Each structure stands twice: as structure tokens, then as C-alpha cells.
Amino acid sequence: MKLTASLVVLLAGCGVELGPSAPWRNAADIEGALAVELVAPPMTSTPRVAPELIRVVSFNVEKGQDVLGLANAIRSTPGLATGTIFLLQEIESHPGEEGSRASRLAAELGMGYAYTPERVEGNGTHGPAILSPWPLENVQVMDLPYADLAISEAPRIALAAEVHVGEVVLHVIDLHLDTRLNATERILQMRPAVLDAPWPTIVGGDLNTNPYAWGVEGTLPQLPTNSVVGTDQAPVIDDYMRHIDYKTPTSRLGSTLRVAGLDWRLDAIYTRGVTARPGRVERGVTLSDHWPVWIDVVR
Amino acid sequence: MRTGTALIAAVMALGVGATVPHAEPITVGKTVTKTRPDGLRRHAAYVELLGKGGMYGVGYDYALYPRLAVGGTASFVAVDGEHTTSVSPYLAFYPLHTRRHRWFVQGGPQIVHLARTSPIPEWPGLTQTGLGGEVSSGYELRSRVLFRVFAMGTVGKGGISPWLGLSLGVTL
């Protein structure tokens, strides 16, 4: 009986502790190794006339080591070639290279960019970036609630910017959430960045909405529960976003990652205060473990 | 001396490695263990690590015959505001067995209710209920103590999943 009681206490208490939320910080106020790079688009590349459809792409580039390959994949994929707002995750910068990978990719595509390291990785940095031929202003960074995971814990941030598409100002937020959180904790981690965001808003990124319920501090996926009841987190996050007035244009586009023959919808784009049309997941782009996903926003 | 011998016999009978005479019930004070003529202990109650409940559970089964038993496992797990309740009734078949060492195959439906409670005002949370099936097979040691180690598979609307389990309990 003592054994049973001990097991119940031990296992039932093995959730993930989330740290407090933090306010948005202006990019210019961040100094040191995690300072934000913000570069305006070349004057010649900003379109003179704003398009009716603004294509928004979210893409976890898995370090983005092959910058030229990424640029070529974007240019040669019709769904991506007309992208005008790119929300990238897991792009890196290393001192031995000719500038950050975000800067080189932006230069290849003729865009401006904001890159903010969320952590030091090896001799470089690792984090999200926003690329656009339209000017980025009011760039801000938020430290998301820290998840105290038993394995491979890391700080997570949100990167926000105002994208000035002609006379329209879109508030965009680029997110990369923790991997082995339960759906409720995932909502709590992203909530500070998305709940009170100014309208019109586009939220996108790698939300890591894996199909499992997790136990023992994010180390044990509950496979039987997943089989019987279906614990996919992506519809849960969609449901939360609908409750706070976001549209979910990528909810029916299918998986954005395949691992060991399993298809997972880890990445998403949400909109609030604009009309959006679902695009597609570009599964022909194989430079990353994720596939890029895009939507069109009607100006 | 006779009292001491009886006491030793009683302790041995209660012990893990105790063997039960085939046809003779064992008398311990006024308690008579309800063994079948073949020595089978009909009732088993156990706790399970991993297994049908996912993380842990409690279960009971009743041996109808030496090769056939019915039972069930139940579990309630609460992690990060996600409350998972599962009930797994099963039929157990023993293709091979000696009196203590047995190979078992269990199968049956599994009902899981998942309640994602909301800690925030703008979202009410979500509940889901699913019906699936599970099959498990493994080794059982059945004496006074019950020990099982097994592999299992679960199938439902979320697909098919492999899993492992370990049970520890008592028999009567």
C-alpha cells in the first residue's frame, strides 16, 4: 500500500514547472551576445505598390546552415517565391561566417530582417528571424515562460514587429515553443505573447504541437492514451486561438514534419483582424526537418 | 515444539516462494485459503507501472479456470492540468503454464477520458473520450505474490502504439 501511495505521489506530481511571463522589450534595449540585428530592406526591393495578397510563410530552417540552398529553394518554389513576410525559426549565426545566416538569406532574397538570438549555441547564437521586403518597425522581444524540463531545456522567446505593407500595418509575432510540453502548458507558454497583441495580428511559428500527452517532466509520452483518445496538441492550440479571436487558416493543411514515418503538424499561422486564405505546406522543400507552411492575407 | 512447527509452516505458506499442496487447503489459524484442487489462486490484486493506464494503475482479476481469467485495470493520472482516467477490462488466456510460471495473453477494450482543465479565463478547456482496444502478452509469476512483465499494443482513433508494463500484487 505504501508502494502504491508513493507511486501515485511520485508520478502525479511530475508535471513541468513554468516560469513567470515577462513584458515585451524593445529590440534596441537588448545588448551583448543576444542583441537583435535589425536591417532595413534595400530601397530597390521594397515594392512600390502593396499587393492585394500578402503571403506569409513560417519555416523552421533547422539552423539554416545552407543559406544559398535555402534561398534557391524559396526562389524555385512557387508558393514561397512570392512570400513577403517570412517567420523563420532555428536560424543561427556563427562568427566564422560572413554575417548571420538571417542576414545572408535576407540579402539573397532582397529583404530586410530582424534576427534575435534566443540563446548561445556553440560559438554562435540561435533564434527566430523575420524577413520582409517591407519595412520592419517597433521590433520587440519577449522572454516566454521558462519550462523546467528534465531533458534539453532552453529559453524560448517571441519576436514581434510591425510590418508596413503600404498603408497597412501588420503586427507579426514569430514563436518557437518548447517540445515536450502538454497542451495546457503550451498555451500558458505562448499566451503572454498572443493574448493582448495589437490588431491586426499574424502569429506564426514552430509551436511544437506534437501528438502526445507527457508525464514525468516531459520525458514520458503517454502512447496508450494517444492511441485511444487522440492527444494531438495542434487542434487544442487551434481551439485556444479561436477563443481569443484568431483564425486558424493552417489547421487543415496537414503535417509540417515527418519523423520515423509519423506525420506531425508542429507549425502553424494564425491571424486576427485580417482576412486570410489557407495556402499549403511545401513538402518538396527538404532542407530542414520541417516543411514551410504559408497563407495569404488579403490586404 | 508443535506450535513452533505450525508457525514456521504458516510463515512459509505466506512467503513468496511458498508452494501450495495440490489438494489440501492450508490452515492458518481459522483462515482457510481458497485454493482450487489444482493449487490455483483465483484472486489477484495488483498495482501496475506503465501498463494499461499509461503511467500507472491498479487492477484485479479472477481466474475462472487455470487457463482463463477476467479482470480490469483502472488509472487516474493528473499532470499539468490534464486529467486522464482510463478503464481497461480484459480477458486473460494462459497458453502455457506451470503452477507458478505462466505466459499470458490479455485483451479487451479500453476507455479513456482526457480532461484538459483550463487555468485561464479566456479558454474553457477541452474534454475528450475515446474507446480503443489493447492486447498484452508477457510473463506472470503467480504464487502468494503476483509479478507480471509484459509488452502491449493499443489501438484507437489516435493510431497504434506499443507500450510496456510491470505489475506487482498479491493473490488469494
DSSP calls for chain A: -HHHHHHHHHHHT---EE------EEGGG--GGGPPEEEPPPTTTS-SS--SEEEEEEEEEEE---HHHHHHHHHHSHHHHT--EEEEEEEEE-TTSSS-HHHHHHHHHT-EEEE--SEEETTEEEEEEEEESS-EEEEEEEEPPPEE-SSS----EEEEEEEEETTEEEEEEEEE--SS--HHHHHHHHHHHHTTPPSSEEEEEE----S--EETTTTEE-HHHHHHH---SHHHHHHHHHHTT-B-TTTTS--SEEETTEEE--EEEEEESSEEEEEEE-TT--SSSBPPEEEEEE-
The whole-number pLDDT of residue A43 equals: 78
The whole-number pLDDT of residue B3 equals: 39
Q: Which residues of chain A lie closer than 8 angstroms to B131, CB-CB?
A: 228
Task: Determine the structural domain holding residue A294 and report its residue range.
Answer: 51-298
**Residue B30 carries which side chain, given as an amino acid letter?**
K
Contact flag A185-B58 (C-beta cutoff 8 Å) = no
Q: Is residue A40 part of a domain?
A: no
Cα B46 to Cα B62: distance, rounded to the nearest angstrom:
12
List phi, psi (to 5°) of A193.
Answer: -85, -25
Which long-range CB contacts under 8 A does B59-62 form with residues at least 24 apart?
A: B59/B167, B59/B169, B61/B90, B61/B92
Q: Is residue A131 part of a domain?
A: yes
B24-34: average pLDDT: 49
Q: What is the CATH number of the domain that holds B80?
A: 2.40.160.20
pTM above 0.90, yes or no: no
Task: Determine the structural domain holding residue B5 and report its residue range.
Answer: 1-37
pLDDT in tens, B82-140: 899 999 999 999 999 888 899 999 999 999 999 999 999 999 999 999 999 999 999 99
The whole-number pLDDT of residue A128 equals: 97
Say if residues A118 and A36 touch (Cβ distance below 8 Å).
no
Contact flag B131-A11 (C-beta cutoff 8 Å) = no
Find the helix or strand (DSSP H, E) in which B33 lies.
Answer: none
B59 and B2 within one domain: no
Closest-CA distance, B74 to chain A, in angstroms, reads 13
B28-33: average pLDDT: 50
Overall domain count for chain A:
1
Cα A52 to Cα A250: distance, rounded to the nearest angstrom:
20
B56 and B33 within one domain: no
Q: What is the CATH number of the domain that holds A211?
A: 3.60.10.10
Contact flag B55-A227 (C-beta cutoff 8 Å) = no
Instruction: State the pairing for strand pair A53-63/A85-93.
Output: parallel
Contact flag A223-B126 (C-beta cutoff 8 Å) = no
Q: Is residue A134 part of a domain?
A: yes
Cross-chain CB nearest to A227 (options B113, B126, B160): B160
Average pLDDT over chain B reads: 82
Q: Is residue A18 part of a domain?
A: no
Contact flag B126-A220 (C-beta cutoff 8 Å) = no
Closest-CA distance, A61 to chain B, in angstroms, reads 28
- CB neighbour list of residue B63: distance below 8 Å, 6 or more residues apart: B40, B41, B42, B43, B44, B69
The CB density around residue B133, as the number of other CB atoms within 10 Å, is: 16
Pairs of CB atoms within 8 A across A/B: 131
B25 and B70 within one domain: no
The whole-number pLDDT of residue B122 equals: 96
Overall domain count for chain B:
2
Q: Is residue A27 part of a domain?
A: no
The whole-number pLDDT of residue A16 equals: 78
- To test the contact with chain A by mutation, choose from B49, B82, B113, B126 the residue with the greatest count of A C-beta atoms within 10 A, namely B82
Strand, helix or coil for residue B110: strand
Closest-CA distance, B1 to chain A, in angstroms, reads 35
pLDDT in tens, B73-90: 999 988 888 899 999 999
- All three cell numbers of A222: 503517454
Cross-chain CB nearest to A220 (options B55, B81, B86): B55
B78 and B114 within one domain: yes
Q: Is residue A215 part of a domain?
A: yes
pLDDT along chain A (299 residues), means of 10: 48 70 93 92 76 94 94 96 96 93 96 95 94 95 90 90 92 95 93 95 96 81 86 94 97 93 94 95 95 94
B108 and B28 within one domain: no
Contact flag A230-B52 (C-beta cutoff 8 Å) = no
DSSP B76-90: EEEETTEEEEEEEEE
Average pLDDT over chain A reads: 90
